[in-house]
Every structure is written in C-alpha cells, then in structure tokens.
C-alpha cells in the first residue's frame, strides 16, 4: 500500500477527480461536460441508468432512466425547470451488437397556459392583468385550479433507425390518450404541501394511483404494458465535486464517506424513467442489450424579435444531436477538450474515432505524475502498463465475453446489460457492483446505488486486472486467482500490470442502494424550493 504526500495530494487534479474511461466513468456526474452544452442546460443529460428492475414482483422488467437539466436549486423560480419544446429526448437500445439502435424511445414536450393561452389574470381596478407566476395559490391532489402553467409530454417508439424507422405512439393505458401530464416542479411547501402531499399531487395526475403513468407500447407486442415517469426528482448522483476540481483537495485513500462530502446533495434534476418488459428490448439477440440517451434539436433556430410565450424562437431543419450519454462521465473528464462537442454529436457506430482515449487513457499517467513523480511508490510507475488497455475496452467498449458481450461485437461506448442475470434485491446490493461480486451491478448496467466514482478511480488504476469477488475458476475459493485475465495471459501477469489495482480509492461522497426507493421510478421526491 502506498501513501500520498501532502504536495502530491494537493495536485491530484485530474486524478481522483477523474474517471475511468473505457467507456466511461468519471468522478463527477455528466453535468456541463462539454463547452457547447453549457449553453443548453435543458438538453444536458446528467446521468443514465439501465438495470434489471429490482422492485419486488417486477423481475421480468428492465428500467431505463435518463436525467436532464443539471444543478437545479429547488428555489429556482419563478420559471423553474421545464424541458425544451423544440427538442427530442431519446433513449436508444441496440440488441444485436452492431452499435446501431434497434428501438428508440423518443420523448417530446409541450408547454401551455390556461384560459386559451392567455394565462391567469387578476382584476386590478378595471383591468384584467396577467400574473407573473406559474402558481397563483396552493396546488394539491384535489385542486389544481391555481396552476397557471401546464407541461405535457408524448412518447414515440421507433423501430429501426431513429430518423427513418417505423414510429408508433405510446398511449395511456386507461384512456388511450397519446399525451401524458408532467407535474409541477416542487416549488415549495406553501404551494404544494409536504413531501407526502407533493407525492399525492403527482399521483393524482396519473392513471396508476402512483407517481408513474401506466402506458401501452404497441411496438412491444404482447408485452406492451409499461410504466413511464417524467418529472422532477432529487439529484441521484453523489460526488465530492468542489474538492475534486480544486486540484483534488482530499485524500482519496483515507477520506471517509459522509453526506457532507456530497456537493450535489441539495440539488434536483429532471427525470425521464421508463420500465418495459425485457422481451421488448432483447429482440433476436442473446439477451444482452446496450443503451444510451441523446437529446437533439432542429438544426436551425431563429430568435423571434417579438417573442411570445409559445414562440420565443422559430426552429426547423434536420434533427441535430447535441447531447449524448451512455456510461457515466466519459465526455466530462476522459474525452479530450478538443473533441467534447464532437463526442456529444456522435453515435456509437462511429466511436472508432475516439478509440485512443480508451486504449491509451491519460488519467493513469496524470495520477502517476502527481503522486509518483519521483518514482518512489511501487517502482517506476503506479500506472497500469498493459497498453492498449484491454481491461477498459472489455469492461466498457465491447463487453465481457459471456457476461455483457452482445451477439456481435462492435467496439462502442454504451451501457451494456445482461437481462438474463437476475436483479439483486435492494438490501443485498453492493455499491461496487461486479468488482464486489454483485453481478447485477455496474458495469453490467448501472443502478442508482452503484458508486461509479469510487469504481472509476479504482478501475482506471487497474482494479479489473486483479481478482474479483466471484469464484471464476470454481475452486471453492474467492481469491485473486479469480481473474478475468483482461490484462495478461495469466493471473500473475494480469496483477503485475497494475501495481496499485487493489487500492480502495474513494471520494468520500456516499452512494448506495439504501439512499433510493425500492420501487419504480426509484429516484426520490425532489427537494422543495421553500419549507415552512
């Protein structure tokens, strides 16, 4: 075991903060990860989850969750956090391994004012004057008449190419309607009551008696029954963000997990969550699927010099992708600055252009430079020496054979999930996933409680070159001989390639399954903008 000096600890700037690539993980959620997306927060994807549902009784279903609109303060009024009416928010699924989407779930949004688009007004003297607020009184499960704003969404399902494939509309499982209500953000307790009141309000807008809508997706055939939730949730990602980017102003070996280290603990996000039967996703493949989320906008946008509520701008032209997220935080701290905008506009089929960032990641070299500049720790270098990094490629770009590898193998960045591996019950999950013997966790999909920051720090320094907590060789022992052999021909060679691969790096921000609900949509009620 090695020990960081104070000077080196101070300089671990990309080090503990960064991620592990190979697809993927980094030490800060994918908020504001590329120069252009900072100008478009409504289409900025922050986290993407894909996992076999672990809610009791939902064993045959898969949950897909895409979070957008980063760093929401609950008090962020008076307009709060709507989605972009001109954007298409999409979740793509590849089920045969060719890095092309086979099914796409597209969400689009619409905003409206009551009173035929005029909005609420008050009698001021002899005049009816439009009010400036989105709520002019308390809103509850029994009375929404004080709402001065409404947001709705539609869900289209596209089979084949996202732009030219066959499209059908998902419908309300009870009424057959093709639009669904998105609830108000949690303005505060005076407007929307306690957290329990807010949950009852959200549930009153659905057909399920719960916060989600029961939907029918005809494209899924006999397994058409689905659940969908769109609305504000408490931020689901935990990270010691400030210290990480203050040249890693922490000790990543000795820091203890404490909620005070989570700089996103007081933030909300907007969640798009979908639960569908696994047979809807797997198609004719081998049961392993890959998925990612994107947001696209029309190529042309013209500002309206006399903008109205409905038309502040006029948009047209071809859909143009501006945001992309599969595995957590690839673009934020792995892709080179010059390619960040390009990555956000790219598709998995073209990921060969970014291969060097995975096979020859810069982060381990940076960690070695700032912590081992004189070569006093573990020999000349603490960075893994197995270049190209086959361990990272397998874990994140191709999948591991027999576990997360699809029927065809195309190196591409997406989250891969083996739908045949049973979900682990919430109370039994390990937040370190596969590395700790929980085969239903990251990088076999990603659950809300998987601590991808700690995993990233460990994996980038070679954790998967060492044994994992699974009896791979069936000798009755779980030890370092249970090696995936991703870094060498033998267990000994694999271990030797990563001299600090067993070091328990962490950022001190706790992330585990107990922090989340045990039922769809899993993510927690948002924080109110104001409390009594």
Residues with Cβ < 8 Å from 158, sequence gap 6 or more?
Answer: 103, 104, 106, 165, 166, 167
Work out how many domains the chain is built from and give that number. Answer: 1
Mean local confidence (pLDDT), 41-59? 96
Mean local confidence (pLDDT), 340-365? 90
Sorting pLDDT into bands at 50, 70 and 90, what band is 401?
A: confident
| Whole-number pLDDT of residue 172 | 97
| Whole-number pLDDT of residue 3 | 33
* Higher pLDDT pick, 253 / 61: 61
| pLDDT tens-digit readout, 11-37 | 332 233 233 333 333 334 466 655 567
Provide the phi-psi class of 221: left if phi over 0, else alpha when psi is between -120 and 50, else beta.
left
| pLDDT tens-digit readout, 369-387 | 777 766 666 668 889 999 9
Residue 378 lies in a domain: yes
Mean local confidence (pLDDT), 457-477? 88
| Whole-number pLDDT of residue 36 | 65
Give the span between the Cα atoms of 429 and 518, in whole angstroms: 12
Residue 487 lies in a domain: no
Q: At what angle do helices 363-371 and 452-460 cross, to 10 degrees?
A: 80
Sole residue written with tokens 């990272």: 392
Residue 467 lies in a domain: no
| Whole-number pLDDT of residue 23 | 33
| Whole-number pLDDT of residue 28 | 43
Domain span at residue 395 reads: 6-462+498-515
> Which pTM value belongs to this model?
0.91
Sorting pLDDT into bands at 50, 70 and 90, what band is 333?
A: low
Listing DSSP states for 152-189 in one string gives: EEEEEEEESSTTTSEEEE-EETTT--S-EEEPPP---H
Provide the phi-psi class of 474: left if phi over 0, else alpha when psi is between -120 and 50, else beta.
left
| Whole-number pLDDT of residue 264 | 94
| Whole-number pLDDT of residue 7 | 31
Query: Quick check: 186 pLDDT over 70?
Result: yes
Query: Quick check: 6 pLDDT over 50?
Result: no
Mean local confidence (pLDDT), 195-202? 98
Residues with Cβ < 8 Å from 41, sequence gap 6 or more?
Answer: 32, 69, 70, 71
Which helix (H) or strand (E) is 456 found in, with range? helix 452-460
Task: Kindly state the percentage of the chain with pLDDT values over 70.
Answer: 91
Which helix (H) or strand (E) is 48 found in, with range? strand 45-52
| pLDDT tens-digit readout, 231-244 | 999 999 999 888 77
Query: Quick check: 9 pLDDT over 60?
Result: no
Residue 279 lies in a domain: yes
Listing DSSP states for 245-294 in one string gives: HTT--S-TTTPPP-GGG-TTTT-EEEEEEEEEEHHHHHTTS-SEEEEEEE
Residue 387 lies in a domain: yes
| pLDDT tens-digit readout, 276-293 | 999 999 998 899 999 999
Provide the phi-psi class of 369: left if phi over 0, else alpha when psi is between -120 and 50, else beta.
alpha
| Whole-number pLDDT of residue 334 | 77
Which helix (H) or strand (E) is 10 found in, with range? helix 6-11
Residue 289 lies in a domain: yes
Q: Are 487 and 499 in contact (CB under 8 A)?
A: no
Residue 195 lies in a domain: yes
Mean local confidence (pLDDT), 426-454? 94
| pLDDT tens-digit readout, 496-527 | 999 999 999 888 999 999 999 999 999 999 99
| Whole-number pLDDT of residue 379 | 64
Query: Quick check: 364 pLDDT over 90?
Result: no
Rg of the chain, C-alpha, whole Å? 24
Mean of per-residue pLDDT scores for the chain: 89
Distinct helix (H) and strand (E) counts, the chain: 12, 16
| Whole-number pLDDT of residue 247 | 58
% helix, strand, coil for the chain, step of 5: 20, 25, 55
Residue 1 lies in a domain: no
Query: Quick check: 120 pLDDT over 50?
Result: yes
């Amino acid at each position: 075991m090695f020990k960081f000096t104070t000077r080196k600890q101070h300089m671990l700037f990309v080090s503990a903060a960064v991620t592990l690539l190979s697809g993927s993980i980094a030490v800060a959620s994918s908020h504001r990860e590329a120069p252009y997306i900072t100008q478009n927060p409504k289409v900025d994807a922050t986290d993407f989850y894909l996992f076999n549902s672990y809610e009791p009784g939902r064993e045959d279903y898969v949950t897909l969750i895409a979070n957008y609109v980063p760093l929401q303060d609950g008090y962020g009024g008076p307009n709060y956090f709507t989605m972009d009416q001109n954007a298409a928010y999409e979740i793509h699924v590849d089920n045969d391994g060719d890095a092309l989407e086979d099914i796409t779930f597209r969400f689009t949004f619409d905003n409206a004012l009551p009173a035929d688009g005029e909005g609420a007004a008050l009698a001021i003297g002899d005049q009816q004057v439009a009010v400036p607020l989105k709520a002019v009184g308390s809103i509850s499960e029994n009375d929404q008449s004080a709402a001065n704003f409404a947001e709705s969404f539609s869900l289209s399902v596209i089979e084949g190419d996202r732009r030219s494939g066959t499209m059908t509309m998902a419908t309300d499982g009870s009424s057959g309607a093709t639009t669904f209500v998105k609830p108000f953000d949690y303005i505060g307790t005076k407007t929307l009551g306690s957290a329990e009141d807010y949950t009852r309000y959200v549930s009153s807008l659905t057909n399920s008696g719960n916060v989600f809508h029961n939907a029918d997706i005809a494209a899924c055939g006999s397994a058409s029954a689905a659940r969908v939730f769109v609305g504000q949730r408490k931020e689901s990602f935990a990270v010691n963000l400030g210290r990480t980017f203050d040249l890693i102003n922490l000790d990543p070996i000795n820091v203890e997990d404490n909620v005070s280290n989570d700089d996103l603990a007081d933030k909300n996000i907007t969640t798009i969550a979908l639960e569908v039967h696994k047979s809807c996703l797997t198609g004719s493949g081998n049961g392993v699927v890959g998925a990612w989320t994107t947001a696209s906008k029309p190529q042309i946008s013209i500002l309206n010099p006399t903008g109205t509520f409905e038309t502040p701008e006029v948009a047209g032209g071809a859909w143009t992708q501006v945001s992309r997220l599969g595995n957590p935080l690839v673009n934020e701290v792995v892709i080179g600055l010059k390619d960040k905008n390009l990555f956000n506009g790219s598709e998995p089929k073209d990921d060969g252009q970014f291969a060097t960032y995975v096979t020859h990641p810069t982060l381990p070299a940076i960690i070695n430079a700032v912590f081992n500049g004189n070569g006093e720790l573990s020999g000349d270098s603490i960075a893994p020496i197995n270049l190209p990094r086959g361990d990272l490629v397998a874990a994140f770009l191709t999948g591991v054979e027999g576990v997360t590898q699809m029927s065809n193998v195309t190196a591409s960045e997406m989250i891969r999930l083996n739908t045949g591996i049973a979900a682990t019950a919430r109370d039994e999950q390990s937040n370190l996933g596969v590395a700790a013997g929980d085969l239903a966790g990251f990088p076999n999909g990603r659950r809300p409680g998987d601590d991808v920051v700690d995993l990233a720090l460990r994996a980038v320094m070679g954790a998967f070159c060492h044994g994992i907590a699974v009896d791979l060789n069936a000798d009755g022992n779980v030890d370092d001989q249970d090696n995936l052999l991703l870094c060498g021909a033998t267990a000994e060679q694999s271990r030797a390639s990563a001299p600090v691969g067993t070091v328990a790096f962490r950022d001190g921000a706790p992330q585990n399954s107990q922090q989340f609900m045990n039922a769809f949509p899993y993510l927690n009620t948002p924080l109110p903008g104001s409390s009594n």
